[in-house]
Amino acid sequence: MTHAFVIAFRDRGTDPLRKANLDFVLEYVNSLNLGPIHLVDDGRSGVEQFARHTAYNTGAHLAFQHVDVVSFYEADMLIPKTQLVTAIEWASQSPGLVVPFTERHEHNPQDSERIRNGEIEPWACTATVIKPKPRRTGAINVISQETYNLVGQYDPTFEGSWWDDRAMHLAFDMCAGPTRWVEGPSHHLHHLPGYQGGHLTFEDRAATTRNRRRFSRYERARTPEQIRHLTAGN
């Protein structure tokens, strides 16, 4: 069983914390020694909405040529190695999405900065907010090539923030079997949120609205074929 990471990122220049988080996460993930890291973008530029799923599909094409299992890993997440190793093993054993955590710990700006500066380990921080499963599944997706093929791909029509994770959760469950969670925490480093705040533009909010409408089509899908029709971008 072989494994790689795919991390999607493009700096829109709207929040310097996102690039700071990426740099720290890249260093951390590299230290895990669990396989190569593919850092991919969506082919867009400037302040255009970030299309994470488009980047993930690019990464999947690169990674699955050489490995059996890929962790699609967001650029602001930290997770204990033991949980990730378990998730990789589970993903290799049978189809289906594996999420390597049951709690997402949302760290505040001050603790996130201390973590990035190496002043404190993320596991030693008391998070401002803790969000339990089953929401927030998209932060780290561990899947086999078989699972990726069963679902078709990540839906490239999603862009900006919100609803894409929930849509793909439904897609994986219907096409590849029930999602499995590895018990334990994950840790999210702070940045400007994509769902609220005065920093969001009209285009940011419009993208989220489109995503919500797209998600409703996943809710109405009743067969794997209907799901794959959607993930194909139709």
pLDDT tens-digit series, residues 81-111: 999 999 999 999 999 999 999 999 999 999 9
C-alpha–C-alpha distance, residues 136 and 168, integer Å = 11
Burial 95-133 (b: 16+ CB within 10 A, else e): bbbbbbbebbbbbeeebbbbbbeeeeebeebebeeeeee
pLDDT, residue 5, reads 98
Bond preceding residue 134 cis, omega within 30 of 0: yes
Residues 39/94, Cβ–Cβ less than 8 Å: no
CATH number 3.40.50.300 given to 3-231: no
Residue 195: pLDDT band by 50, 70, 90 thresholds? confident
pLDDT, residue 22, reads 98
Per-residue model confidence (pLDDT) at position 134: 87
Q: What are the residue ranges spanned by the domains of the chain?
A: 3-231
Computed over every residue of the chain, the mean pLDDT equals: 96
Which of 131, 82, 123 is CA-nearest to residue 102? 131
